[in-house]
Structure 1
């Protein structure tokens, strides 16, 4: 018996997946949350998330830009709300009463401020991912093995350059008598001559 490809059940599942992916994508563009889409389509939220991710990776059309714009708009609205919480004056309340310090001033509650900061950071991270700002940077790293003979050759070349510079200076009369031997001795002292 030969098996020439996927059976009717596999094709039906594939077609159903494609339909759900397209429907998830279209519903997301209308502004529905992943949970709302999952409820409407009768599938788990995790499945909606996986299908939306796949749809976005496959599409290179204006709908992706439209989806990105919807998401950015949503993130903008969330950012405004988080900033409102951040900028409000929060006080500690215990047993339904405002806690006051020894001078009678309300004690500040930094908890909501810190939570708002965390929320703003998560929104910023999401925006960065959506815009591709966190894309990995490609690094081209090449390793070259250095042969000890190459190092010795470089040292010989440097020594020859120094000797040539000393000889040129001597010929131009820029070195006092006996200076060339001192310069040559310096070159041999470091093991390069």
Structure 2
């Protein structure tokens, strides 16, 4: 996927592979703009000196991928801002005390005051809103991790070893000897 225009200097990376420069990215974007306005691949090639219609086609594909990546980055940024706002709200709920209300009245803890005395009992606290805020924060963290790619698949290297009956016998003997050694050690330490 490189520009193969004859005589055009191309940038290379440390492994000598062709790499895109700001100029080539801008040129690819211009090819995409011209194509979206109805220009033929050959006309774009002639105008922007791509060397062939095939090179223009590849340039348009690269530019399209750049546009998609930019849109995805903007979407990701908007979602992260929204998550930050929701996180602030959930933390505010978590930090507040909530009281239990039943039939329009605050439920209080302790003995009832005598008639005519003010009710100085403490209100019964409701943990439900705090637990819901914690669950919401967890969901927000999971969503943020997905957006940032923190939960990428983990590559597992699993090696399978075949175990035959003799190996099992040996493992059993080792296990029994370890148990015997531990019992003897306990007996020695207990007798000192």
Q: TM-score, normalised by structure 2?
A: 0.43
- Which one has a larger percent helix, Structure 1 or Structure 2? 1
Q: Which structure is richer in relative contact order (CA contacts within 8 A, separation 6 or more)?
A: 2
